Amino acid sequence: MKFITRKYIFIILIICMLVPGRAFSITVKEEEELSREFMKYVLKHAELIEDPIVVNYVNNVGKRIISAIAPQPFTYHFYIIKDNVYNAFASPAGHIFINSGLFEAMDNEEELAGILGHEIAHVACRHISQKIERSKKIGLATLAGIAAGIFLGTGGAATAASALTVGSMAAGQSIALAYSREDEMQADQLGLKYLTKAKYSSQGLLSALKKIRSRQWFSSDQVPTYLTTHPAIENRIAYISSQLGNDIIPKSQASSETCYDFAIAHTKLVAMYGDENTALRKFQIHVKKHSESHMAHYGYALILARMGNRKEAIVHLKTALEKSAFDPNVLKDLGRIYFLDGQYPEALSSLKSAASMAPDDSENLFFIGRTQIELGMLKEAISTFEKLIAKDPDYTMALYFLGNVYGKLGKAEDAHYFLGIYYKNKQNYKNAMFHLNRALNTITNPDKRTKIERLLKEISKNEAEMPKEDL
């Protein structure tokens, strides 16, 4: 216990206080409402990584597992939190989170699948929702805040959740939201079945758990939050080890495509979102030891560019392309770094080459549009951004630049229209209403007018529901 800080002792005490009470089985609709409140809290207190390569990869692994199991009442979503602490958790109604530090420690897709499969099982079993003791004095928003704080485990979220929990205890309204040993065993048993159906080995989960366990011996500040919310890790490791003899999927039967997908996502995560100095040392060593690896040069280029050394980054990206000429991700990042370095013709050439191989890559289209603006190709930029928004309506920054391009061309009504949607998506409701109302005064397109009217109603509703301190 001497290795555990007071912060973690407090969290563990909350988790371990399993107060007897009548279990309530909330409805699917109520669970979805709880999940929405949970997500508000997470988005306020945690930084999510939004890099499409990383996010799409993790979602693809999660969806591969989901597609292999029975139909679910929820739509699952997978997120990466930028945090070095080893942690993974699931909210009610299918929102699953993994910390970047835990993903960074992984060596293959099997380990990622193992953790995701376990968290999917918690959702499928509705472990959190079934633990909630409904109370007139504790609303779903408060319950969601407590749950999010416990699972996030660090910083402001934990502090806020602690205060909420203490207040509810004082009122005699205790809840126990942490997983029990029985929950963990059930999630492991079901999760292993999910992994087998998705053609993953059990070895990945075992390996990931051993890495989480080993972290606790480094220092008190590195005790994985995962260990405080997912108890009985030794028993779990023993159980999963005993099941390996029944594992019908060989450990290393990953395809070359699967290996590449993990490598590109993992490399980008470490280089772009990990500790800068650690990443720099890692890829310096990797390039020296594996000079023929295009992925080593790619990772080294990304961290060099991140630290401002774009010239050398371009050299290593070109080396990566010499070793793997048809990698659209390397071409895209070469174009992106050319763009950031002000080499716009070179940027457009690389980005268009990447687009010829990966025409649906939203990030690549975005940088093509940005480059076209810098080259004065405004009509081409409009076409690019409109194509991007048509395929990916949630690509918010494309709306901003599209609005600006229309403004440069003197098309004020379209400029106000797209800037209004941009600010609405960013929850900047004051600017959103200004631009949308200006667009509504002049725009004649009936579909756009209908959309503006709907957005203005949504903004009014959201403002009414927003806490005063957030306005």
List, in order, residues 6 or more apart from 444 with CB less than 8 Å away. Answer: none
The predicted model gives 283-311 an average pLDDT of 97
The Cα angle at residue 276 between residues 272 and 277, in degrees rounded to 5:
150
> Would you say residue 6 has pLDDT above 70?
no
CA–CA dist 350, 247 (Å, integer): 45
Q: What are the pLDDT digits (tens) for 168-185?
A: 333 333 344 567 888 889
Predicted pLDDT at 130: 72
Contacts of 224 (CB under 8 A, 6+ apart): 85, 86, 87, 102, 212, 215, 216
Contact 363, 337 (CB under 8 A): no
Is the pTM here over 0.85, yes or no?
no
Amino acid 109: pLDDT: 96
For residues 10-32, give the mean pLDDT. Answer: 52
For residue 141, name the pLDDT band (cuts at 50, 70, 90): low
Q: Show the tokens assigned to 343.
A: 């080499």
What average pLDDT does this structure show over 144-161? Answer: 57
Cα–Cα–Cα angle for 310, 366, 373, nearest 5°?
80
Residue from 97, 78, 92 nearest 28 by CA: 92
Whole-number pLDDT of residue 10:
37
The pLDDT assigned to 166 comes to 40
Q: How far apart are CA 365 and CA 287, in angstroms?
A: 30
> Is the CB of residue 137 less than 8 Å from the CB of residue 164?
no
Number of Cβ atoms within 10 Å of the Cβ of 392: 17
What are the angstrom distances between the C-alpha of 292 and each of 88, 271, 288, 309, 311?
Answer: 34, 19, 9, 22, 21
Distance between CA atoms of residues 441 and 456, nearest Å: 13
Work out the angle at residue 123's Cα, subtended by the Cα atoms of residues 81 and 396, and round it to the nearest 5 degrees.
40
Q: What pLDDT shows up at residue 468?
A: 52
Which contacts qualify for 309-314: CB closer than 8 Å, 24 or more apart? Answer: 310/337, 310/340, 310/341, 311/341, 313/337, 314/338, 314/341
List the chain domain ranges: 6-246
Cβ count near 318 (within 10 Å): 13
List the beta bridge partners of residue 96. 78, 90
Measured CA to CA, the distance from residue 400 to residue 435 in angstroms comes to 12
For residue 210, give the amino acid letter: K
Determine the average pLDDT of the residues in 157-171: 41
Contact 157, 148 (CB under 8 A): yes
Looking at residue 99, what DSSP letter applies? E
Q: What is the mean pLDDT of residues 183-211?
A: 93
Instruction: Quote the pLDDT of residue 65.
Output: 97
465: confidence class by pLDDT, cuts 50, 70, 90? low
- Looking at the predicted structure, is the pLDDT value of residue 99 above 60? yes
The span from the CA of 112 to the CA of 265, in Å, is: 12
Which two structure tokens, joined as six digits, stand for 215?
Answer: 């972290």
Question: Which of 44 and 352 is assigned the larger pLDDT?
Answer: 352
Cβ atoms of 328 and 351 closer than 8 Å: no
Each residue of 333-390: pLDDT tens digit? 999 999 999 999 999 999 999 999 999 999 999 999 999 999 999 999 999 999 999 9
Residue 40: predicted pLDDT: 85
Q: Show the tokens assigned to 176.
A: 């126990």
| pLDDT of residue 206 exceeding 50 | yes
CA pseudo-torsion sign 169, 175, 181, 187: negative
**Per-residue pLDDT tens over the stretch 312-329:** 999 999 999 999 988 999
Choose the weakest-confidence range: 226-235, 289-298, 407-416. Answer: 226-235
Band the pLDDT of 21: cuts 50, 70, 90. very low
- Residue 163 and residue 174: Cα distance in Å, rounded? 13
**pLDDT the model gives residue 37:** 84
- Cβ proximity of 261 and 213 under 8 Å: no
Which range of 129-138, 256-265, 415-424, 459-468 scores highest in mean pLDDT? It is 415-424
What is the Cα 93 distance to its own chain's centre?
Answer: 16
Per-residue pLDDT at 394: 84
Q: In the prediction, which pLDDT does 171 show?
A: 34
In this prediction, residue 11 carries a pLDDT of 38
Residue with tokens 């993790």: 58
In the predicted structure, residue 145 carries a pLDDT above the cut 80: no
251-273 pLDDT tens trace = 545 555 669 999 999 999 999 99
Residue 19 has what pLDDT?
33
How does residue 32 score in pLDDT terms, banded at 50, 70 and 90?
confident
Least confident stretch, 4-13, 24-33, 197-206, 405-414: 4-13
What rounded mean pLDDT belongs to the chain? 84
User: What residues contact 327, with CB distance under 8 A and at least 6 apart?
Assistant: 294, 298, 320, 321
Q: pLDDT digit string (tens) for 63-89?
A: 999 999 989 998 999 999 999 989 999
Q: Report the C-alpha gap between 165 and 463 in whole angstroms.
A: 28
Strand 95-99: give its sheet, edge to edge: 77-81, 95-99, 88-90
**pLDDT at res. 329:** 96
Cβ atoms 297, 267 nearer than 8 A: no
- Please determine, for residue 284, whether its predicted confidence score (pLDDT) is greater than 90: yes
Distance, in Å, from the CA atom of 211 to the CA atom of 72, rounded to the nearest integer, reads: 30
At 214-241, the pLDDT tens digits run 876 554 455 567 777 787 888 888 888 8
